[in-house]
A and B are shown apart, each in its own frame.
Chain A
Amino acid sequence: DAGVIQSPRHEVTEMGQEVTLRCKPISGHDYLFWYRQTMMRGLELLIYFNNNVPIDDSGMPEDRFSAKMPNASFSTLKIQPSEPRDSAVYFCASSYYGRRSDTQYFGPGTRLTVL
C-alpha cells in the first residue's frame, strides 16, 4: 500500500487567498484525521471523520476552516481566507477501528506558508 497520500507537499500563498489541502487515506481505513503541527503547540487535532461523516470538529480554529470527505478515498481541508497565523504543517492520518488496535498512520504532511 502507498500509505496516506497528501498534496501538495508545500504551499506558499498570500494572505486572503483560498487554500485547499488534499488527502487520500489508506484503502480500507474507516477513520480519517486532520492535524496541524506548529513549534509552539505541537500536533493538534482539527477534525476527524468516521465512514466519511465528520465526528468531531471542535479543533477547527474558526469558520475560515472547513473539511469534507465526499468518499472513502478522498478528503479536503480548506482555509478561506488564509492568514499568516495559519502557517504550519498539516497532517492527514487514517486508521482502521479494531477491537484493540486502531493505530493511526500519518501522511507526509503539507507545509503551508501564508505571506
Chain B
Amino acid sequence: AQSVTQPDIHITVSEGASLELRCNYSYGATPYLFWYVQSPGQGLQLLLKYFSGDTLVQGIKGFEAEFKRSQSSFNLRKPSVHWSDAAEYFCAVGDTGGGNKLTFGTGTQLKVEL
C-alpha cells in the first residue's frame, strides 16, 4: 500500500529565510505526487504536482518541489518565505491505477516569525 511520511510536524522560519519541507513516499511504481496547502478553517489548495518528466516542478506562490526517485522524496522548497505562507502543508501520493486515490501525509505546520 502507498504511504507518505512528513517527518516534521512543526517548522518555524523567519520571514525572508528559505524553506524546505520534507516528504518521503512509498509506492510500487512511478507515483503521482502533490503538495497542498491549507490555511486555518479553509480547504486544501493545490500548490504543485508531479506526474512525469522534469523532476523539478514549479508551483504557485513561488514554491517548487523536486522529485528524487532514488530517495523516494518530493521535498517542497521556497527561497524566501513570506508571513502569509504560514499554514499547514500536506504532501500526497496518488495511485496511478483506477480511482487515483490520494494518500496524504500527516502534514507540516509552518510558522513564520516576523
Chains A and B are bound partners: no
